Chains A and B, each alone.
Chain A
């Protein structure tokens, strides 16, 4: 009988002491989470893609609340939810929403199987990163797309796919949320996030080759050779030439399409424009014209 009483007594004492300790600790180390964080996180898409630059949606929610305490939501954007979600977030935090330009991923390489001949055969794992360990890839271009599909694997939204005909990834612009996962994955930095532009129209230099003109010209039919014609043609000074590569600043570009006509290699693409009227097409289309222009330039 005594044994049972002792056991009950000891157990009771241990329980009592533990409960006191637990109570004190829970009071002392209590964490008060801002309830707004939870509410903001609720309206976020929960894609946890990291496109906003924070670790997951809850991380972004915490950052938004912190920024709101500082007074403004400037620079905070959920690329997946876009403007609509940011308006909700701003509503919860009692702030005016800042305007943001919607973006989309652009694969800046036109080195299709036809344009860029394969000089070696690669039979290893179909992954750009693995392929890069064995050399510069199947083509002679040391800058362009490898076609291994690392970006396709990285995209959570199914917006990227490898086009079997060209061997290059293509972006489904309706599905692309501009989270930037592909940009981070691409070992060659071929993909860029560019503003969608009015009516989705954009002018893009579809090349990232920084070789000298003569070298770039030899390895790919559609490469930028850094001739600078587009720079001279552009009435808005939107095009710059660095390391033998032209770049169109989307902020300055007014979509006049003059550079597209000027480019002797057809490296500048006008995306999502309606088809041109036959008259102007005759000026740019013939292949002989393009070839002779290259010759005179190089």
Chain B
């Protein structure tokens, strides 16, 4: 069974919601659209207070190449443009829409019929990328990098294959798993669209083998798609990391930053993104809803919800049985890389893959003990770094030492902190060091 070679850990899977089918969440009373739902320049609002919008109306347009538009997920009236504390924990400008009815833009195809690739001979690589850009699609695994940028390889590079990330290595999360079980055909068409957009004839879908039903189903369906291969992978965290996935599926190693996957000829897209691409190109539907796993051991019904973007998280929790009394932390994303939310009215955004409710006991940190030099973090690091060294260098503000030891390669997966027997806050310090070193490098380059 294939997997990546260096490091990795195996946290308890806890896929509580794996058997619950995706269901639609209700419409919110008010939807909030952050302008910072993607990496890059924030979107520029094109609506004003009092404007009426429909589902799919552009609320804010892309500001530059590395930026995407934001579409309304509800119909109603724009009530204000104001700052809101979003999932990042920072106050950021957002557009508030008061919901009235549920009226969609006429251009969106709302039927359930699957449109095969053969049904649209008019599509070219350029038109697919343009459509993806228009639809505001970003990497939906959580990184939220604008999708069209990834599909436009920089000069001097050439894509050779496409890898679809269906690993879902974060514990608890099952959104991608359910999507594969319920929309396999659409995902395969989406993969074909990406392959067509970048002009390659080889595609892989990497799935960890803790999802045997999804592997079997996709292998069955993929018989009609000779260019797409389903690759079952050994279960290991962080296999969903771009570089780890490329190593696992193709055996290629992506060099240290600033090198990108495209430098080894690979383009990686998340399976949720692939589905969004299918909907955007074939159904003319911009990205305004996504599957999000709402889960937790104390939660009454852990579920996979198809939620409109802008819905407050509190509503999703209500739909899954309400906030349990014993709740210590609410995490946006998975337990390994997710971020604790500051309040429950944080709106769903394009990168929200999960909502995890941890009990008081689960969320408590253990007091750190001195480092015993066991080097467990070193063997766990999937990037081959020395986390204990980077953490110490960062906390002592030795930025040059941190930089020399490759702190910018860190993917912030948290394997080091997970495995540390002394409960040291390794990732906290490394992340701080990485941000500072990146800022220093940027300052140096602009000088």
Contacts and interface: CB of A to CB of B under 8 A. Distances in A.
Contact of B436 (A125, A129, A142): A129
Contact of B429 (A120, A125, A134, A142): A125
Given A120-B342, A127-B395, A142-B91, A133 B425 contact: no
A142 B90 contact: yes
Contacts of B342: 119-120, 135-136
A142 B90 CA distance: 8
Contacts, number: 43
A198 interface: no
A218 to B, nearest CB: 12
A130 B339 contact: no
A125 B339 CA distance: 15
A135 B432 contact: no
B340 interface: yes
B85 interface: yes
A260 B85 CA distance: 33
Given A124-B365, A124-B428, A135-B85, 12 more contacts: A119-B343, A125-B395, A125-B429, A127-B429, A127-B432, A129-B432, A133-B428, A133-B435, A134-B89, A134-B339, A135-B88, A136-B85
Interface of B: 85, 88-91, 339-340, 342-343, 364-365, 395, 425, 428-429, 431-432, 435-436
B92 to A, nearest CB: 10
A123 interface: yes
A123 B428 contact: no
B90 A135 contact: yes
Given A120-B342, A135-B342, A130 B90 contact: no
For chain A, give the interface size range. Answer: 10 to 19
20 contacts: A119-B343, A120-B342, A123-B364, A123-B365, A124-B428, A125-B425, A125-B429, A129-B436, A130-B428, A130-B432, A134-B89, A134-B340, A135-B85, A135-B88, A135-B90, A135-B339, A136-B89, A136-B90, A136-B91, A136-B342
Interface of A: 119-120, 123-125, 127, 129-130, 133-136, 142
The main secondary structure of chain B at its interface with chain A is mixed
B91 A133 contact: no
Contacts of A119: 342-343
A268 to B, nearest CB: 25
A53 to B, nearest CB: 17
From B425, B432, B435, name the one whose CB has the most chain A CB atoms within 10 angstroms: B432
Contacts of A127: 395, 429, 432
Nearest to B391: A125
A142 B88 CA distance: 13
A276 to B, nearest CB: 38
Nearest to B430: A130
A169 B321 CA distance: 44
Nearest to A153: B397
A133 B435 CA distance: 9
A125 B391 CA distance: 12
A124 B429 CA distance: 10
Contacts of B431: 130, 133
Contacts of B89: 134-136
Contacts of B429: 125, 127, 130
Nearest to A137: B89
Contacts of A124: 365, 425, 428
A80 to B, nearest CB: 20
Contacts of A120: 342-343
Contacts of A135: 85, 88-90, 339, 342
Nearest to A120: B342
Contacts of B435: 133
Nearest to B89: A135
Contacts of A133: 428, 431-432, 435
Contacts of B395: 125, 127
Nearest to A215: B83
Closest 3 pairs between A and B when the two form their complex, measured CB to CB: A135-B89, A125-B428, A130-B432
A222 to B, nearest CB: 20
A58 B395 CA distance: 27
A136 B343 CA distance: 12
A133 B395 CA distance: 14
A119 B341 CA distance: 12
Contacts of B85: 135-136
Nearest to A128: B432
Contacts of A123: 364-365
A286 to B, nearest CB: 33
A123 B340 CA distance: 11
A124 B364 CA distance: 10
Contacts of B428: 124-125, 130, 133
A292 B365 CA distance: 44
Nearest to A150: B397
